[in-house]
A = this chain, B = another copy of it.
Amino acid sequence: MSIRPQLESARASLPALLALDGAQRAALIRLMAAAIRRRTASILQANADDVATGTRAGLSTAMLDRLTLDEGRIEQLAQALEAVAEQPDPLHDAAAPTVRRDGLRLRQVPAPLGVIAMVYESRPNVTADAAALCLMSGNACVLRGGREARHSNQAIAAALHDALAEAGLPASAVTVLDDPDRSLLQELLGCDDLVDVVIPRGGEALIRHVAEHSRIPVIRHYKGVCHLYVDRAADLDRALSLLVDGKSTRPGVCNALECLLVHAEVAARFLPRAGSAMREREVSLRACPRSLPLLDGAQAASQSDWGHEYLDRILAVKVVDDLDAALAHIRRYGSQHTEVIASEDAAACARFVQQVDASAVMVNASSRFNDGGELGLGAEIGISTTKLHAYGPMGLASLTCRKWVVEGEGHVRHPQT
């Protein structure tokens, strides 16, 4: 069975979505939240099926936890949709036109991207979140979740379709693919005439698979290998707070620290404190030869520790000769996600900001601030580590483009005499 009719039907919903104003789109999202609350029982039942199947299939505890819904999580899900509806309209066009000398009026106005395909793994809440973010920005969406959440995703989709029907909109605006054997995914990624962008969310393997096989433009987020560089001019108390916050408060997320770089001149003063703070928080250390003697209980690092995304209570530590050596290390092993400098030397900070290629560069601030909510973007659809289109956390505005609107009174480039 070809996927094309489903994608064509998703595309055919665009004119109806384009005709909605911001208030109508927000009202639609609120209807979706209400429909999800109404259908709580059937969503929980479908989810119980998925969890039972997953348990039999031997899914890890972490996977099962991400998969499992309960009444509280469904209420959170509905509230998350209501928060999307509260966001400013991403298609609102505030800018005044530029008027050329000949009277031609030029504007760039926000427009939806069109049909957005989301490819994701176990968490069924992505089905509702992604649909809300896409619709709020005037886009249709094609959602291809993991097979482990198959029934949950279909039950959530039924609620979303209730809301679309109430609003008089085609169900195909939220097209949920049932693709238990990945065969549809392969075909989907070839349909660049019907889908405008693919956003994969999940593990690195999934994202690489999508990026390598897609003819459709992909917004990627591979991983976060975030470094903290403690400069010789660092305030060491501040540096220690940045280390503790970045490494130990939530080690499993992409904006957590993975590697500490310390200027040789402050290593002897800073590392013993850093080591004991990490030990207290059960973070184990992989240390370079110069830092190893300064860190009680650390293991020697091997080559594979540099650039490694642990997503765990593990930290790589390296002493560097100077700022340039830190920059070179980050250039080689960084992941263009988040990089941090602790320094009171304005020139060193400026050079770090200029030279580091990352979606967010933090100066005396925690890596954990690289987050849509913290940066004021509202709900986040992902974090891009590709520099095209979006770099860093993606809010609603990242689901739009800008088209030119040129208005004249019969203006031409080559007037005929």
Contact = CB atoms under 8 A, between A and B. Distances in A.
Interface of A: 14-15, 18-19, 98, 100, 104, 106, 109, 111, 113-114, 192, 196-197, 211-212, 215, 217-219, 235, 237-239, 241-242, 244-246, 249, 327, 331, 342, 349, 353-355, 357-366, 368-370, 374-376, 386-389, 391-392, 401-416
Contacts of A376: 98, 100, 106
Contacts of A410: 235, 237-239, 241-242, 342, 364-365
A266 to B, nearest CB: 15
Given A114-B387, A362-B406, A406-B365, A331 B411 contact: no
A75 B405 CA distance: 35
Q: Which of A331, A359, A387, A389 has the largest count of B CB atoms less than 10 A from its CB?
A: A387
Contacts of A192: 211
Nearest to A98: B376
Contact of A401 (B104, B353, B391): B391
A109 to B, nearest CB: 8
Interface of A is mostly: mixed
A122 B197 CA distance: 31
Q: Which of A389, A403, A409 has the largest count of B CB atoms less than 10 A from its CB?
A: A403
A57 B140 CA distance: 49
A402 B408 contact: no
A15 B401 CA distance: 31
Nearest to A331: B15
11 contacts: A211-B215, A358-B403, A362-B408, A364-B407, A364-B411, A365-B412, A368-B413, A369-B413, A374-B413, A389-B389, A392-B403
Nearest to A388: B389
B217 A217 contact: yes
A13 to B, nearest CB: 12
Nearest to A106: B375
